[in-house]
Amino acid sequence: MSAGPTPILVELFTSEGCSDCPPADTFLRTLDSTQPIPGAQLIVIEEHVDYWDDGGWRDPFSSHAFTLRQGDYVNRMHLASAYTPQMVVDGVYQFVGSDRRSALKAFESERSNPKIEVRITSAKLENDRTILHVDTDAVPVKAEVLVAIAADRADTQVLKGENGGRHLEHVAILKSLERVGKAEKGEAFSKDVSISAKALAQMSRVIVFLQEPSQGKILGATVELFKN
């Protein structure tokens, strides 16, 4: 089990084309910078969906893959539909992304849940690729291992759409998410993961997390900052 602060994965599904999203984006940045929950490490990811892209402004960070990930949460949690901004905490709690009361309640609930330790070690360069060694402690149930690459920070001057004229700031903007393996019940995971230099351009966060199959509960997570 993790010996340090309890990692809590905070996913925000958002869009620059949605006028309700900037307050949630700001809240996520605040969580990331202030880490307001004693004994917990909030590991944040901003996931920009693409279903707002036909509303006058194409979000430069949007991806249909992130829309599909949100859709899987919608189905698993038996929601009527996808919406933005939506915050998902550790794969089990969901609410409007700017709802601070619901967020703090979820964080407090997850802080006391033990997590499996996840480690990123032995980073080295090979032929314009970064090789990271990822390993975990043994898992209590079957789990998938996912590696997310996120830009540390970015900002946009929005020219059109619902946020036209606004300057938006973002943190931990998801660029790619890859399932790199799995661990069976009672097993640990250990593997070298290869990441292109392009993917880690400028300042990037590498977030590795364990998630129950079918996009279930987050069992452990870690994050490291890299600069090529």
- The CATH code of the domain that includes 56 is 2.60.40.10
Q: Greater confidence, 130 or 156?
A: 156
Lowest mean pLDDT among 53-57, 128-132, 141-145: 128-132
Q: What pTM did the predictor assign?
A: 0.96
Q: Retrieve residue 197's tokens.
A: 């230099």
Encoded tokens for 130: 């970064």
Residue 87 lies in a domain: yes
Range of the domain at 99: 6-227
- Mean pLDDT estimate for the chain: 95
Cβ pair 188, 118 in contact under 8 A: no
> Where is average pLDDT lowest: 2-6, 16-20, 28-32, 128-132?
2-6
Q: What is the sign of the dihedral through the CA atoms of 82, 34, 120 and 124?
A: positive
> How many domains are there within the chain?
1
For residue 209, being part of any structural domain is answered with yes
179 confidence band (pLDDT: 50, 70, 90) = very high
What H or E segment, with its residue span, contains residue 194? strand 190-196
Per the domain annotation, does 188 fall within a domain?
yes
Q: For the segment 154-174, what is each residue's pLDDT rounded down to a tens digit?
A: 999 999 999 999 999 999 999
pLDDT, tens digit, for every residue of 86-124?
A: 999 999 999 999 999 999 999 999 999 999 999 998 778
Q: Determine the pLDDT at residue 171.
A: 98
Please state whether beta strands 218-227 and 190-196 pair in parallel, antiparallel, or not at all (unpaired).
unpaired
**pLDDT at residue 170, as a whole number:** 98
Q: Is 1 inside a domain boundary?
A: no
In the chain, alpha helices (H): 21-34, 64-76, 100-111
Evaluate whether residue 91 is within a structural domain.
Answer: yes
Are the C-beta atoms of residues 175 and 199 closer than 8 Å to each other? yes
How far is the CA of 123 from the CAs of 195, 197, 227, in angstroms? 10, 12, 12
Is 185 among the domain residues?
Answer: yes
**The token pair that represents 209 in the structure block:** 């997390």
Does 110 map to a domain? yes
CA angle 203, 91, 60 (to 5 degrees): 40
Instruction: Take residue 95 and report the two structure tokens written for it.
Output: 């609410």
pLDDT one-digit tens code per residue, 185-201: 999 999 999 998 778 87
Share of the chain above pLDDT 70, in %: 98
pLDDT of residue 197: 77
Question: Is residue 137 assigned to a domain?
Answer: yes
Q: How far apart are CA 21 and CA 84, in angstroms?
A: 7
> What pLDDT score was predicted for residue 147?
97
**Confidence at residue 57, expressed as pLDDT on a 0 to 100 scale:** 97
3-class secondary-structure state, position 34: helix
Residue 4 amino acid letter: G
Per-residue model confidence (pLDDT) at position 129: 87
* pLDDT value of residue 225: 92
Would you state the structure tokens that stand for residue 158, as one six-digit string? 């929005």
* Pairwise CA distance, residues 77 & 113, whole Å: 20
Residue at 142: amino acid letter:
K
What distance in Å separates the CA atoms of residue 151 and residue 149, rounded to the nearest whole number?
A: 7
Phi, psi of 142 (to 5 degrees): -60, 140
| 76 pLDDT above the threshold of 80 | yes
